[in-house]
Amino acid sequence: MNGPSENGLTFLDALPSGLLDLPARRLHEQLSGPTLIRLSGEDPRPLFISVLLHGNETTGWDAMRAILKKYAHLPRSVYLFIGNVAAAAQGQRHLPQQADYNRIWQGDGETAEYAMARELLAWLQQQSLFAAIDIHNNTGTNPHYACVNRLQDDYLHLATLFSRTVVYFLKPDTVLSMAMSNLCPAVTIECGKPDDARGVAHVIEFIEAALHLSAFPDHAMAPQDVDLFHTVAVVNVPEQCSVAVGDERADIDLSPTIDHYNFSELPPGTSFGRFRADCELALHARDEQGNEVSGRYFELRDGGIYTRVPVMPSMLTLDAEIIRQDCLCYLMERLPLPGAD
């Protein structure tokens, strides 16, 4: 297949002329929607790379523009998936009428986005993929880190090509990396804020390494080579409560420096902010089994929201819109490397 499908997914076997000259906000001028571009290379085993699942996370596209401009002949075949170009045109995570492009890769949803995802996965299942990389940004202050959904050596070796900080998670299970983990070593990389040139440079370095990797090491990952964390809960703000940062009028008024808590081991009693008395449950926390565990991690007293036990958050943000569209943060624990003494 070459061209658009009935589900809005376009397959291309070459880069459209001038595409690499366009920033993310202008991709809609040449691409009608989500697009898979299949590019051949010296090693025929394709590296699947996805960018712009969230339209405001542009580092992946900026990095791929630079890499593809560099090579007349790629060292490895690449399947480049360019996701939500409509949202990218507006600089948004996703448009109000759209499903989140990184929450559609499992389940039987009836929207156009789910149909597109099912079609792409069905096609990819017929390919012999070398590895898969999904590129994202954060809105809060975070280090660059990698995420895996399987604790296997090839997955961890791929992740540590990007960062020694690796997060293992099972929820949400509707993300693209989870689906790709059933097909090949797969990783999500989190590259800081989209306006940071260091993130683009880091992604370029990582993709270059993956393009030139002939095989994954056949030895086990050494414990000293990775800092491994396990996501144990996702934290959301209740829908009925308003949320803001540094605004006492909101039901939940978060600390203006809360995103600096990311990847820090916080002691009990750390303040996340203030809450109004009529917002009885200030934060929702659910574990991997979907159980409500807010009381395990947080306590409300004297109008404040405090940690009850030692925790390490990730992806805390000061952007109230992102908090609503996704979550406030994830909570993590250190995880011993499987097989390590």
Query: Hey, what are 42's tokens?
Result: 């010296």
CA distance 121 to 43: 22
Note the pLDDT of residue 3: 63
Write the single-letter amino acid at 151: L
Q: Mean of the pLDDT values across residues 141-145?
A: 94
Pairing type for strands 243-245 and 252-254 reads: parallel
Q: Which of 291, 326, 238 is nearest to 54 (CA)?
A: 326
- 2 has a pLDDT exceeding 90: no
> Which pLDDT belongs to residue 296?
96
Handedness of CA 317, 322, 327, 333 (dihedral sign): negative
Tokens of 132: 């898969």
Statement: residue 4 has pLDDT above 80 = no
User: What's the average model confidence in pLDDT over 166-181?
Assistant: 97
The predicted pLDDT at position 1 comes to 56
18 pairs with which residues across the strands? none
What is the band of 276 on the pLDDT scale with cuts at 50, 70, 90?
confident
- Whether 241 has a pLDDT exceeding 70, the answer reads yes
Closest CA to 245 of 237, 236, 253: 253
> For residue 212, how many C-alpha atoms fall within 13 Å in the half-sphere facing its CB?
8
